[in-house]
Amino acid sequence: MFELELSPGDLTLTDLRRIYDAPVKLSLHEAAADKIAASRAVVENVLDTGEVVYGINTGFGKLAKEQISAEKLEKLQENLILSHCTGTGYILYEQITRLIMVLKINGLAQGYSGVRPELIEALIALLNHEVYPCIPAKGSVGASGDLAPLAHMSAVLLGYGEVSVGGKILPAKEGLKIAGLESMSLAPKEGLALINGTQVSTALALAGLFTTENCFAGAVITGALSTEAAKGSAAPFKPEIQNVRRQAGQIDVAVKYRALLDGSEIGKSHKDCDRVQDPYCLRCMPQVMGACLDTIRFTAQTLEHEANAVTDNPLVFADTGEILSGGNFHAEPVAMAADMLALALAEIGSISERRIAMLIDENQSGLPPFLVRDAGINSGFMIAHVTAAALVSENKQKSHPACVDSIPTSAGQEDHVSMATHGARRLRDMAENTATIVGIELLAAVQGLEFHRPLQSSGTLENIVSTIREHVTNYKEDRYFAPDIEAAKNLVEGDDLIELCSDLLPSFKEI
C-alpha cells in the first residue's frame, strides 16, 4: 500500500498506474473542503426555496418531469440506487474497482456535484481499508453514466450488496464495519452524483492502456530478438528513413531498435550477405510499432483527461449558484479511446505472429525447421505458432469498434449511447491474447538466436536471453510446452521487459 494525497482533478497517469498495481491509502488535500462545502450549499439552497431542479427533487431520465415532495426525497435516493443495481456477469477485479473508487472520489471532490463531505469520506474509508464493492462487469451502455455498475458500488454505502475483503466475499454491512462505517442515507442529489459518470468505463480503459503498454514493450524487444535470430538487417532502422516520414512514434521506436541492437556480433557477422530485403514483419517494425505507439500516446492523453473529469449530471457551479444539466456522462471519448487501443493490441499481436511464422520457416529464416534439431521426430514450435495464429484471429474479431454500435434506451430519452464499458472491458482479453502471442515470439526468437552461438547479440538483448533462460530452458526436443508459454507471457505482462521501453510510454512519465 502506498499513500497518496489527492488534489482533486490532478491525477496523473503515473498515479493511476500505481493505483492499478497496488492498494492505496488516500487522503484529500485540505483545499478541497471549501469547494465541496460551497457546492453542497447551492443544493441546500434549492431545497430551502423549493425550486424544482432536475436530479434534486425530480424523477430521473424519462421521469424527469415528475416533481418529488420533500418528505420523499430520501426514499428517492435509495430507490434510485436499488433500482439501478441491475448488473450481471463476473465481478470486476479488485484492481479495476480500486480505480473506479478513486476516479469517483476524484470527480466528487472537485466541488461540482453538490454532495456532502461525509459521502466522499465514506468512499475513502472503504478504499483505505481495502473494502471493495462487488461490481458486476456487465450492464452499462456507457451513457447517462455507467449507471448499473456504479449503483452496485454505491449500494454498499446503504448496506446493500456484497464486498470483497482480502479475497473473501462479505455482506456489505460487514464490510462497512471493517471500514469503521455504518449504513448511511443519501441526501438529495447524492444518488445521481454517485451513479452518473464514466468512472467504470474509464477504469477499464485505463487498465487496457496499461496492459497495452506492456504488450507494446514486449513486442519491441521480441522484434529486435527476432531480427537477430533471422539475421535481419538493421538498415531499415536508420534515422534518415524515419525522419523523412515525420511520424513521432516511428522515429522514437527506431531509436529504440538501434539501441537494442547496438554492439551485436550477430549483426556484424552477416553485414556482407546477399539478402536484399527482409520481410515486412522485420523491415516495417518502426512503421507498425510506431503507429501503435502514437495511438497509445493519444489514448493516454484522452484517458488522463477523463480520469480528472467531472462527469455526473446535473453539475453545480458554486461561483454563480447555477445548476446546469448537460451530458458529460456520455462516454464517447472513452469509447473511441478503447476502440483505438483494441486496434493497437490487434496489430501488435498480428505483426508478432508474422515474425513467429517467419522464424519457423527454414526458407525464410535460414534456421532449422520449426526451430528444433531433428525435425520430424520433433515438432518444435509448429503448434505454438498455431496457438499464436488462433489468438490473432480472435483479436481481429474483438477489435471491431464498439462506439459505432449505439442502441436507444430509457424509452428513447437516451437515444445515442457510447458502448464504452464493454468496449473497454474487452481490452483485458485482447491484451492477454497479445501478451501470449508476444510471449511465444520471445521463446521462438531466443531459440533461434541461440542457433548462432558462439556469436553474441548486444549486451541488452543477451540480458533478455538470460532472463528468459531463468524461466525456460532451451528447446532441445519436444516436451510439455504450455508451461513455457505461460512463463513467457508472464514476463511480457511483468516489469522485466517494460523497463527497457518505459521512456517511450505515457504512464511512466507526465504527458
Active site residues: 54
Q: Interior CA angle at 13 toward 256 and 313, to 5°?
A: 145
Q: What is the largest CA-CA distance in the chain?
A: 87
Q: How far is CA 323 from CA 131, 143, 145, 190, 384, in A?
A: 33, 20, 18, 14, 59
**Phi and psi angles of residue 72, each rounded to the nearest 5 degrees, phi first:** -105, 5
Q: What's the 3-state SS for 134-178?
A: CCEEECCCCCCCCHHHHHHHHHHHHCCCEEEECCEEEEHHHHHHH
User: What span, in angstroms and rounded, lies between the C-alpha atoms of 151 and 128?
Assistant: 20
Are 8 and 310 in contact, with CB atoms under 8 Å apart? no
Paired residues of 299 in beta bridges: none
Give the Cβ contact number of residue 258 at 10 Å. 16
Residue 74: CB partners within 8 Å, gap ≥ 6? Answer: 185, 186, 187, 188
Residue type, 18: R
Chain-centroid distance, C-alpha 152: 21
Paired residues of 304 in beta bridges: none
Burial track 133-157 (b if 16+ CB lie within 10 A, e otherwise): bbbbbebbbbbbbbbbbbbbbbbbb
Query: Which grid cell sits at 122?
Result: 465514506
Are 286 and 219 in contact, with CB atoms under 8 Å apart? no
Closest CA relative to residue 357, chosen from 180, 495, 226, 183: 226
Q: Crossing angle for the helix pair 147-155 and 199-229, nearest 10 degrees?
A: 110
User: What span, in angstroms and rounded, lies between the C-alpha atoms of 10 and 236?
Assistant: 41
CA torsion through residues 475, 481, 485, 487, sign: negative
Element (H, E) at 40: helix 32-49
User: What span, in angstroms and rounded, lies between the C-alpha atoms of 285 and 49?
Assistant: 65
